[in-house]
A and B are shown apart, each in its own frame.
Chain A
């Protein structure tokens, strides 16, 4: 994939992408070889077929997720973001960031740049952390595209329910840590 039509991406990301994929590839090959050696060819092909079905099942969802992420970045004006989750946004900002994390699609490829951009345009640091946590634990897109094929809807729903208050907990503790540390540093 050398046609660099997405020229606005820093080259560093492309490089690290390949590196991490290579590490996973090595682990995968080792695991596949081990399964073949331990369980024989039949089991080896069984796993391949099952996973191939899973892969085909995911593709339309992943493509939709990529398109939604791309449209969202052009449709959501940045001024609105910094007003909603800016430095003075308080608990309201943390709640909004939680909600945004739930609905924002995309992988870590999307969420970290978005959270980084939030901070750059003046969003509160703990709101950005809440956003990442909420996307990680409650993100609908992530749960639907990646988690449900493995765990089924009941388990995922149950896990999500258990995780519901946690992004707010993380955001508030991040804010407390920041306050404690800056207070400590600024003491005369």
Chain B
């Protein structure tokens, strides 16, 4: 139900933006829609690999080790391990989320999982080297990394303060 509502909301936004573009010119609207569609087609194989594959990566995880290293009692060390693991995870669109969800089911603590998915989102080294460094000025990338270093720990700490959902 929520999934459907989100779909409808997203497509309403698309319709509104297409209308705004069409008001300027029909050609602009069609050209832009075509470009968006082409980007989608380019993403498709990658998403397919990411989604289909992340299930297998998650299934291949040794669950007992996850519980032991990242469980609720693993504390600050668990958060540090989760942060490092997140940074080393390949930066596909879903790999980090899939692994985090699998770890959560496998007995990892919620703050540890949050540290993991936050570190993955911020630092995933493969994505950093493949996408960000070629596109952004080098100093800006390293400035961002240094300024973000404490963030996975802060997110985990905030999650602990807030308590479980």
Chain A residues within CB distance 8 Å of chain B: 1, 5-6, 12-13, 16-17, 19-21, 23-25, 27-28, 31-32, 34-35, 38-39, 43, 47-48, 50-52, 54-55, 57-58, 60-75, 107-109, 112-113, 115-116, 119, 125-126, 128-129, 132-133, 136-137, 144, 146-151, 153-155, 157-159, 161-163, 165-166, 169-171, 173-174, 177-178
Contacts and interface: CB of A to CB of B under 8 A. Distances in A.
Closest 7 A/B residue pairs (Cβ): A28-B53, A70-B36, A162-B158, A71-B17, A67-B36, A51-B55, A64-B10
Contact-residue size bin, chain B (C-beta under 8 Å from the other chain)? 35 or more
Interface of B: 2-3, 6-7, 10-11, 13-14, 17-18, 20-21, 28, 32-43, 45-57, 59-60, 90-95, 97-98, 100-101, 104, 110, 114, 117-118, 121-122, 126-127, 130-132, 134-137, 140, 143-144, 146-148, 151, 154-156, 158-159, 161-162, 164-165
Given A66-B36, A66-B40, 8 more contacts: A24-B53, A64-B14, A67-B18, A68-B17, A69-B39, A74-B21, A149-B3, A151-B101
A68 B121 CA distance: 21
Secondary structure class of chain A's binding surface, majority of residues? helix
Nearest to B136: A116
A24 B132 CA distance: 18
A171 B13 CA distance: 29
A21 to B, nearest CB: 5
Contacts of B131: 13, 16, 108-109, 112
6 contacts: A1-B41, A66-B36, A68-B14, A68-B36, A109-B131, A154-B165
